[in-house]
Amino acid sequence: MSGTPIVSLRGVGKFFGARKVADSIDFDVRAGEVVCLLGASGSGKSTILRMIAGIERADEGTVSVGGVEVDGTAFVPPEKRRVGLVFQDLALFPHLNAMANAGFGLFRAAKGVAEARARELLELVGLSRHAASFPHQLSGGEQQRLAVARALAPRPQAMLLDEPFSGLDDRLRDDVRRDVLALLRVEGAAVVFVTHDPDEALMSADRIVLLRDGRIVQQGTPAELLEKPADLGAAAFFSPVNRCDGTVAGGVAATVFGDVTVVGLADGARVTAAFRPRDLELAAEGPALRVTAADLTADGLHVTAVPERGEAVTAVLEPAAGVRTGDVIRLRAKPGRGLAFVG
């Protein structure tokens, strides 16, 4: 995505005591772009978001918003950064109705201007008919939309979302997330969205910043992280993987599931190969792993199988394969599938 970054982090680091929870963080977010900070609990994603907001100060590096350095040689307080922030708990004011909540951040504006902006936002998030309702009278999805409307009211350059949809049930979460992110893109905000859910990141993000132990493992589009993961841990973060050893010869690594193409490794090099469940298929002949189907689910044909030696294998097969629990089958990699990692 072209254009000058709205949010920019360069060499950002943060210590909590002797522990470094963010280390050498570099990424940009442009207007209308959704960037997901993705990682397990303790990976540093919420701390990074809080440094962008100004709730935490960076110990190293610089944070810029709208082309202005807000943390580094100088520090700009949160209320002067033109960022909107939505937490998981939403923090709506229970004593204010939806109209007053939506317009809360417009206290410096003239009354008529503030009311017009609040009504505009309630219309945008589909809450016009609930203008007089209080938060406890709204559903979870409606409360979520109201929190976003309130954060958008002052027209922030950046919108920061800290796992705001995790409290909603699955179907509602998908609908609310889609609607909210579409609205934020229309508004032109640079969006930084924290989540621990890889599926949510893949569905939501223009780019993903994958974090582990306070450092960036990889950043790129969802397709890039899926198709070219930086390491085995990155591959396994997005889906289960079947792992096996391989030895390089002539540009391929021979494994129990078949050959995997490798680049830049000498013959004899040892690699760990990874195959996602959908990378495998039934084999009648050729290199394959002989396994016993131990568990099947009705969702397509998900098979957990047990080999004679080694770890259990998971595969997604065509329903027409007709595999039943207890069947002895042979699994191989589909042509061109599989990843290989050194170390």
Q: Tell the residue number behind the tokens 């229309």, with chain if given.
A: 186
| CB atoms near residue 30 (< 10 Å) | 18
pLDDT 10s per residue in the chain (343 long)?
557 899 999 999 999 999 999 999 999 999 999 999 999 999 999 999 999 999 999 999 999 999 999 999 999 999 899 999 988 777 889 999 999 999 888 877 788 888 899 998 898 888 999 999 999 999 988 898 898 889 888 889 999 999 888 877 877 888 888 888 988 888 889 999 999 999 999 999 999 999 999 999 999 999 999 999 999 999 999 999 999 999 999 999 999 999 999 988 899 999 999 999 999 999 988 889 999 998 887 666 888 988 887 789 999 988 777 888 899 999 999 999 999 998 6
Q: Where are the domains of the chain?
A: 7-235, 240-342
CA-based nearest residue to 183, from 139, 126, 143:
126
Q: Which amino acid is at 121?
A: L
Edge-first strand listing for the sheet containing 252-255: 258-261, 252-255, 242-249, 270-275, 339-342
CA-based nearest residue to 177, from 158, 194, 156, 157:
194
Angle CA(228)–CA(329)–CA(312) in degrees, nearest 5?
55
pTM for the structure as a whole: 0.89
As a whole number of angstroms, the distance between CA 92 and CA 59 comes to 31
Quick check: 204 and 177 in contact, CB under 8 A?
yes
Digit-coded pLDDT (tens) for 112-142? 888 899 998 898 888 999 999 999 999 988 8
Q: CA torsion sign, 65 to 71 to 75 to 78? A: positive
Quick check: 290 and 308 in contact, CB under 8 A?
yes
Residues 6+ apart with CB under 8 A from 60: 11, 12, 13, 14
Residue 278, Ramachandran bin (φ over 0: left; ψ between -120 and 50: alpha; else beta): alpha
Phi and psi for 246 in degrees, rounded to 5? -145, 160
Strand partners, 314: 304
Indicate the class that CATH gives domain 7-235. alpha beta
